[in-house]
Amino acid sequence: MLSTTPRTTLGRSKERGSTDRDDLYEVLDTGLICHLGVVVDGHPMVVPTGYGRVGDTLYLHGSTGARSLRTGTGTDVCVTVTHLDGLVLARSIFHHSVNYRSAMIYGPARLVTDEDEREQGLRALAEQLAPGQWDYVRRPSRKELAATAVLALSLEEASVKIRRGGPVDEEEDYDLPVWAGVLPLVMSWGAPEPDSVLPEGIEAPVHILHRE
């Protein structure tokens, strides 16, 4: 079960809220980037960035010099992951909507200092974006590790919203001679584009060529 705190209890559209922890994992595990919200000098700042999950911990990373990460450490952050699945085209403008799956996680970001946990977090971050690459390419050197800040965020306080299905129209609008339904949005991987200086004979590995 997901937590219910004042900010994870949906004020509106309660039927779209999910309290199933598996839904949270599904939204997070199938995403590629998140939007990280921090407060800088009292003002909000929303930055797109990578993430990875290990159990009930979300890992974020960045340069040790990045403003958004410096500010976020120890202070409250909000991480939002959104999948846009399609447009819901109704018979009236007012009832237009989108099908989506989104997760919001709130909490203090903890700077990870333990070397094992840092490596675990970085591996999760890499595997989230590009599964298979951690074991395929050169791993981080000591110097590279030192230049990378790893932050951990507990999944304790989280909410999930999901909308699926067709439009819901006003009763009297169903008679309008207007097409209504869903226009699905599909994300897919294109053909891998080799680096211009890649030597001949090096083929893309299966985990890239046949990524789902």
Residues 146-165 interacting with its own copies (rule: CB under 8 A): 148
Q: Does the footprint of its own copies cover residue 111 (CB under 8 A)?
A: no
Contact window for its own copies (CB under 8 A) among 22-30, 32-40, 52-60, 110-118: 32-40
Alpha-carbon separation of residue 111 from 69, 154, 183 (angstroms): 9, 12, 42
What is the contact mask toward its own copies in residues 163 to 192, using x (rule: CB under 8 A)? ---xx-----xx-xxxxxxxxxxxxxxxxx
Nearest-approach distance from CB 116 to its own copies, in angstroms: 16
CB of 109 to its own copies, least distance (A): 11
Specify whether the CB–CB gap between 24 and 53 falls below 8 A: no
Place of tokens 């939007």: 35
Q: State yes or no: residue 5 binds its own copies (CB under 8 A).
A: no
The only residue of 73, 110, 111, 204 in contact with its own copies, by rule CB under 8 A: 204
- Nearer to its own copies among residue 29 and residue 46 (C-beta): 46
CA distances from 173 to 84, 97, 116, 190 (A): 26, 16, 60, 41
Beta-sheet pairing, 110-111 with 148-154: antiparallel
- 19 or 92: whose CB is closer to its own copies? 92
By CB under 8 A, which span of 17-25, 52-60, 110-118, 127-135 interacts with its own copies? 127-135
Here the tokens at position 104 are 């919001």
- Among 20, 56, 136, 146, interactor with its own copies by CB under 8 A: 136
Contact between 36 and its own copies per CB under 8 A: yes
Instruction: Say how far apart CA 104 and CA 158 lie, in whole Å.
Output: 6
Element at 105 (helix H, strand E): strand 97-108
And the tokens for 133?
Answer: 């690459």
State which residue, 25 or 134, has the beta carbon closest to its own copies: 134
Site for its own copies in 72-101 (CB under 8 A): 76-80, 82, 84, 86-87, 89-94, 96, 98, 100
CB of 118 to its own copies, least distance (A): 13
b/e code 63-102 from CB counts within 10 Å (16+ = b): eeeeebbbbbeeeebbbbbbbebbbbbbbeeeeebebbbb
CB of 204 to its own copies, least distance (A): 5
Is 54 near its own copies (CB under 8 A)?
A: no
DSSP tag of 124:
H
